[in-house]
Structure 1
Amino acid sequence: MEQTLINDGLPFLGSALPADLAGVELRRAITEHRVLRMMRNTFRDARVPDSREVRVAAIALHAPKDAIVADDTVAWLQGVDTNDPRDRFSFSPSLIVPNHACRPQHPGVRVREGTIDDCDVVEEGGLRLQTNLRATADMLRLKWRPNALATADAMCRHNLIDKGELAEFIRPLRRLPGIPQARALVRLVDPRSMSWGESVLKLRLVDAGFPMPALQHEVNDPRIGVRYLDCAYVAPRVGVEYDGKEFHTAESDREHDAERRELLSDILGWRWEIARRDDLIGTNDALEWRVGEKLGLTPRPRSW
């Protein structure tokens, strides 16, 4: 006989375990793949498939009646991950509560005080959420510069916002922290940056004072077929690409990357600079200097 779903299939808090898990260590249930961790302090029965409705129910465990779901959490509810890869396994709900309101006491909830116009709020499943435009604008102004751009690229790439509408939304905003950053970065938002790494790589190049590279540049030649380059400086034939762990770690992936780049180099004269995650995080500017040498340009210092 099939066992009853833990907590009737609804998400639950690790700090308030349902009776189904009484006497059973949560960590053990996770290890045995009976329970899945959805975010910090929030879990569900592993047999329950992921869905928008399940995610809404999970956020509802953390959100007081007067709270507005904000920022990364708005994206997460729609299946879009806008987090820095280093934070991917420590996701916490982000909420906005009225000034001087009582804040949630659950561990791992990010809360800030503020007010939002009703036109920037929508309702779903009993929750009040920022609109996609407002959430993206707030992340663009409040997040660390590279993560801010990567977030907006991701929202645009998943058709949750339009770049032109985002720029128009940000234009009239006044007296909010981070507006200068949001206005500067919105010019760089582009759905053709296909990952966090490609977004940060693009920003590294632009902030170094280099021209904006061509994104997902198509090379079409009968000798090699159609190839796409993450970031390309077409005239000097310099390709700058991001090799992330997910698609560029296996030996077969590495061999494919090497063969593709070798063909483009041997037949069409392309030169390469390849970045991995460790090249993008931190103050080391060796990547900029290597690219600058190929472009005949001197990189300017980076502020982040």
Structure 2
Amino acid sequence: MTHPHEAPPRPAEDPLIDRTRQITRSIPQATACRRTAAHIWDLDVLPSHTGDDWPVELIAPGHLTIPGCVTYLAPLPEADITTHKGVRLTTMERTALDCARYLPRMEAVAILDRFARKGLDLEALWHRPLNSWQLRDTLSLADRGAASPRESWLRVILIEGGLPRPSTQIRVDLGDDHHAYLDLGWEAYKVAVEYDGQEHHTSPADRQRDTDRREELRRRGWRVIAVRRDVIPGQIADLLHHVANALIERGWRPGPETTTRILRNIRAARRRPHYRTSRGGSRRRPDPDNDWTSW
């Protein structure tokens, strides 16, 4: 059964795939790569506003001037080339690595998560030659439990914000052979974070089901923090603040360095409309019994 956050099936005729097929058939040295290749591998990775205007991304050993295309000059081993849907493109493994290496962190992790759900071996990616530590750091954030790109983004924001790494798809027994799955959470503290996509929670029946489900989880001791679509990126500071408070109230005790890092990231997110975490900086010892709102 399709997860409610996942994108609907793609139309049978896809203009980008058709264009890419024609180009790679007519130009032997051109191979589809990066987001274009990920799209052909059936990942929902293109910005929704691009429509059919997304350029065909190609990797080639020499310069190519093709209208509507972007070419990256780089050697490409034969082992990293395959054919799918009649298109010559980078393999799943190479596509995942290229996206992890060149795309912004949150987008890269979301793509890695989707490839992992399709069965890609993340451990194999880690051991590829010439991987940088920065690339391996991105690979370490991947989790096949994420069921949508925004769930992936949420996880990256929480981890890079300084919070403990959450588990994904936590199964909670509701009794009478019923159970619920929580998007992200910390079982030890019974705190969960879930993404509420407006497109999936618009009908009164959907909203009532969500309310009933979360009320049952509350009765079983869980605190569920629902995150609306507009939280990313504009309200990241409030999200980190809220989740950190919830974890502390449930018994989490971060050390001084972790506390300083979280507070620094909250302040940075308030200063900048687009969330970026910072590293390093000063250290100070907080009072762990204080509420975060007072700091």
The TM-score range, normalised by the shorter chain, is: 0.7 to 0.9
Moved more, 238-247 or 222-231: 222-231
Aligned to 1:164: 123
Higher gyration radius (CA): 1
TM-score normalised according to structure 1 size? 0.72
Q: Which runs of 5+ in 2 are unaligned?
A: 1-10, 249-253, 266-274, 278-295
Please give the residue correspondences for 1:208-219 in structure 2 after superposition, counting only pairs within 5 Å.
208-219=161-172
Please give the residue correspondences for 1:178-217 in structure 2 after superposition, counting only pairs within 5 Å.
179-217=132-170
Task: For 1:264 and 1:89, locate their aligned partners in 2 and report how far apart those are by CA, in whole Å.
Answer: 42
Could you tell me how far 1:85 is from its partner in structure 2?
5.0
Task: For 2:222 and 2:184, locate their aligned partners in 1 and report how far apart those are by CA, in whole Å.
Answer: 12
User: Secondary structure at 1:285's aligned position in 2?
Assistant: helix
Could you tell me how far 1:76 is from its partner in structure 2?
1.9
* RMSD (Å), alpha carbons: 2.6
Tell me the matched-pair count.
244
Aligned to 2:71: 111
Q: Which runs of 5+ in 1 are unaligned?
A: 1-48
What is the letter of the counterpart of residue 103 of structure 1? T
Aligned to 1:173: 130
Contact 1:92/1:110 (8 A) holds in 2: yes
Task: For 1:204 and 1:71, locate their aligned partners in 2 and report how far apart those are by CA, in whole Å.
Answer: 23
Contact 1:153/1:193 (8 A) holds in 2: yes
Aligned to 1:290: 242
Could you tell me how far 1:199 is from its partner in structure 2?
0.5
Aligned to 1:23: none
Task: For 2:84 and 2:189, locate their aligned partners in 1 and report how far apart those are by CA, in whole Å.
Answer: 51
Deviation digits for residues 30-76 of structure 1, max 9, x if unmatched?
xxxxxxxxxxxxxxxxxxx7169x86543133443321110122222
TM-score normalised according to structure 2 size? 0.74
Could you tell me how far 1:180 is from its partner in structure 2?
3.5
Could you tell me how far 1:275 is from its partner in structure 2?
1.3
User: Secondary structure at 1:287's aligned position in 2?
Assistant: helix
Task: For 2:87 and 2:94, locate their aligned partners in 1 and report how far apart those are by CA, in whole Å.
Answer: 16
Could you tell me how far 1:204 is from its partner in structure 2?
0.9
User: Secondary structure at 2:193's aligned position in 1?
Assistant: strand
Please give the residue correspondences for 1:74-93 in structure 2 after superposition, counting only pairs within 5 Å.
74-85=37-48, 90-93=53-56
Aligned to 2:108: 148
Contact 2:182/2:194 (8 A) holds in 1: yes
What is the letter of the counterpart of residue 22 of structure 2? L
Change (3 A) 1:245 1:186: same
User: Secondary structure at 1:203's aligned position in 2?
Assistant: helix
Q: Is 1:133 matched with 2:93?
A: yes
Which residue of the other structure, out of 244, 250, 254, is the alignment partner of 2:203? 250
Task: For 1:55 and 1:83, locate their aligned partners in 2 and report how far apart those are by CA, in whole Å.
Answer: 11
Which residue of the other structure, out of 276, 282, 286, is the alignment partner of 1:303? 276
Task: For 1:249 and 1:181, locate their aligned partners in 2 and report how far apart those are by CA, in whole Å.
Answer: 40
Task: For 1:233 and 1:141, locate their aligned partners in 2 and report how far apart those are by CA, in whole Å.
Answer: 29
Could you tell me how far 1:213 is from its partner in structure 2?
0.8
Q: Is 1:273 matched with 2:217?
A: no
User: Secondary structure at 1:133's aligned position in 2?
Assistant: helix
Task: For 1:245 and 1:183, locate their aligned partners in 2 and report how far apart those are by CA, in whole Å.
Answer: 34
Could you tell me how far 1:252 is from its partner in structure 2?
2.1
Identity, in percent, stands at 29
Contact 1:82/1:154 (8 A) holds in 2: no
Contact 1:83/1:151 (8 A) holds in 2: no
Contact 1:84/1:196 (8 A) holds in 2: no
Contact 1:80/1:158 (8 A) holds in 2: no
What is the letter of the counterpart of residue 220 of structure 2? L
Contact 1:94/1:111 (8 A) holds in 2: yes
Q: Is 1:227 matched with 2:203?
A: no
Contact 1:141/1:180 (8 A) holds in 2: no
Could you tell me how far 1:87 is from its partner in structure 2?
5.0
Task: For 2:84 and 2:184, locate their aligned partners in 1 and report how far apart those are by CA, in whole Å.
Answer: 39
Task: For 1:141 and 1:85, locate their aligned partners in 2 and report how far apart those are by CA, in whole Å.
Answer: 22
Change (3 A) 1:263 1:144: same
